[in-house]
Amino acid sequence: MFCDRFVVESSRRVVGVAVKVPGGFKFFSSDPGFDALEAKTFPRARTLISRVADFGRRRREKKAEAALPTLN
Given a cut of 70, whether residue 1 has pLDDT beyond it is no
Q: What is the pLDDT of residues 35-55, one digit of tens each?
A: 999 999 999 999 999 999 999
Q: Is residue 72 part of a domain?
A: no
- pTM here is 0.83
Q: Is residue 71 part of a domain?
A: no
Q: Is residue 50 part of a domain?
A: yes
Given a cut of 70, whether residue 72 has pLDDT beyond it is no
Please provide the DSSP assignment of 1-70 as one string. ---SEEEEEETTEEEEEEEEETTEEEEEESSGGGGGGTT-EESSHHHHHHHHHHHHHHHHHHHHHHHSPP
Q: Is residue 21 part of a domain?
A: yes
Q: How many domains does the chain have?
A: 1
